[in-house]
Amino acid sequence: MSAAPAIVATGLTRRFGKLTAVDAIDLTIPKAGIYGFLGPNGSGKSTTIRMLCGLLEPSAGTVEVLGHRMPRDAERLRRRLGYMTQRFSLWDDLTVRENLEFMARIFGLGAAERRQRIGELAVDYDLGGVLRQRAGTMSGGQRQRLALAAATLHRPELLLLDEPTSAVDPQSRRDFWESLFRLVGDGATILVSTHYMDEAERCHGLAILAEGQLVAEGAPRQLMRDIPAAVVEIEAVDTVAARAALQGGEPVRSIAQLGTRLHALLDRATHDPAGYVRTRLALAHVDAVVHDVQASLEDVFVAATGFRHGPRDRAAPH
């Protein structure tokens, strides 16, 4: 791993009229690894990625990508960056081979290199059987593999992927992530945005965005360990009654349902969180099994983003 980071952003801000889509984000993304942006829709993930690859000009703040200032030096970096848009943006009316050939020529690959790379990628991304098929007639998973193949044709050092798996089935998502790890193994740095917890958990580093702000950052494990809340798991037959019994309790920050169980996030300072929950439920005559648990990434996400929407926190100054 080289010492210099792949991306350094300071005070990165982007406003669209009165709306602040990205609000003073500071980021340092190391080389050779997968770095994830986790956040709900509208949290500023796409806008941030677009500023990082020079598509949008920041309203304030600076971005340095692979040692170059963006967007000033964007053109110099084109050959070293690969970008995959959120929407499929290759050409539906061209075949897989034609799409790849076009992108390869745009990136200045010679005829022999083109043939060789397209051959390799067809194997890597399982596109050999559909090279003559038009992109518009393919499945979501195939289109996404084609888009990734097109983004890696020129062997970029840094790949920016904007919600690459939002339109594909779970099996395709798993295969896709296998490809990403292979690319990182070859020395690439990958920045990927997602709203899937399981994907976020696979990242080496993670930034959680909410309403344009960076609300948590770190390795997933570290984030789960350092969560600023106590997590209590409640197994109850009547989860609705259990939720009602806990709602409004002084240290209760949020309650989320995970399958048949509830996860309650309590103020970190709470003495014996499980005991507190047991008492509340007993008072309300709700039968439940309650114990302290290790936070999941979902809890981290809720703790980092959900609190912001709580009635008490809305009144609090930012």
In whole angstroms, what is the distance from residue 196 CA to residue 218 CA? 17
Least distance in Å: CB of 124 to other proteins?
Answer: 20
Least distance in Å: CB of 106 to other proteins?
Answer: 5
- Among the candidate windows 49-57, 226-234, 247-255, 298-306, which touches other proteins by CB under 8 A? 49-57
Q: How many residues does the chain have?
A: 318
Single out the residue of 213, 315, 224 nearest to residue 265, CA to CA. 224
219 DSSP assignment: -
Contact between 137 and other proteins by CB under 8 A: the answer reads no
Cβ neighbors of 234 (< 8 A, separation 6 or more) are: 242, 246, 261, 262, 263, 264, 277, 281, 288, 289, 290
Q: For other proteins, what does the binding mask look like between residues 107 and 126, x meaning CB under 8 A?
A: xx------------------
Q: Is 42 exposed, middle or buried (0-12, 13-18, 19+ CB in 10 A)?
A: middle
Q: Which residues, 67 to 86, sit near other proteins by CB under 8 A?
A: 71, 75, 78-79, 81, 83, 85
Nearer CB in complex with other proteins: 25/49: 49
- Residues contacting other proteins: total by CB under 8 A: 28
Nearer CB in complex with other proteins: 162/299: 162
End-to-end CA distance of the chain: 37
Least distance in Å: CB of 206 to other proteins?
Answer: 24
Contact between 188 and other proteins by CB under 8 A: the answer reads no
235, two tokens: 């197994």
List residues near other proteins by CB under 8 A: 50, 53-57, 71, 75, 78-79, 81, 83, 85, 87-91, 93-94, 98, 101-103, 105-108
